[in-house]
Amino acid sequence: TELRYFDWGSEGKPPLICLHGHTGDAHIWDEFAEAMSPYYHVFAVDQRGHGDSQWATDGYDRDLFVSDLSAFMDGLSLEKVTLVGLSMGGWNSILYAPDHPERVERIILVDIAPDIGKGMKENRAPRPPTPLEFDSLEDAISLARQNNLWATDERLRRDIVARTRQRDDGKWVWKADPKLMGGTLRDTEPEFVARSWRSFEAIKGPILEIRGTESPAVSDELLEDMTKANSQFSFVDVVGAGHVVCVDKPQEFIEAARAFLGVTA
């Protein structure tokens, strides 16, 4: 599976890999990657079936995403990295790190926990299926605004432009593989949740959770459980951000990450 990625240069600096969430793309990291590029060699990846990466022929099992991460690091000869993962990208980081402790320096989890089922089910009302096509780009942006009250108009537009394309018939469609749209992620099933907790407990390096205060994904109860499960864990909130913290409040997200990464303004 061919993967598109953005390389923010800074040869010789420690590598940092950014992984977006479900149905997202690498452009969510634009502001963060630019801010970190003087200190890190930043790579932002479109994961399989997302953005301008290839749609997968062998499916979207979670272990395939993890294998892709390993292959990406091998292909670029990245020996030890910092991982920054939003939502699905955080899950992939949690599963990768314990099996490769020598290759992961530290992890930033963005609005994700080993178990999101409880918080999401209790706090999020059922939504209709996401439309797969739109008559105009403005229609896609309007739908996105219904689900995101926190990003600026300009940042929300850039996010949707990056995640959509216009077909020859004039319709606008998502770049993500339609197989990824809608339905329930098996990652919320008890067997996967138990596996995620085991992996989280086994991570050796420092872990920072950056949570959006307007998102239901990571409850206070989950933060307490994560604190008990791994002594290397800490967390910080970004006020006024929803689930995609780095899009909703880019500068505040950068500030939340600085101390953990040892980066001064």
* Spatial CB neighbours of 71, under 8 Å, sequence gap ≥ 6: none
Residue 75: pLDDT over 70:
yes
Instruction: Inform me whether the pLDDT recorded for 88 exceeds 80.
Output: yes
What pLDDT digit, counting tens, does each position of 198-224 carry?
999 999 999 999 999 999 999 999 999
Q: How confident is the model at residue 9 (pLDDT cuts 50, 70, 90)?
A: confident
What pLDDT does 10 receive? 85
**36-63 average pLDDT score:** 97
Q: Is the pTM of this model over 0.85?
A: yes
Spell 189-209 as b/e; 16+ CB within 10 A means b.
eeebbebbbebbeebeebbbb
What is the per-residue pLDDT for 189?
Answer: 81
Average of per-residue pLDDT values in the chain: 94
Q: Please give the average per-residue pLDDT across 93-98, as a whole number.
A: 97
Q: Is 253 helix (H, G, I), strand (E, B) or coil?
A: helix
Burial (0-12, 13-18, 19+ Cβ within 10 Å), 10 = middle
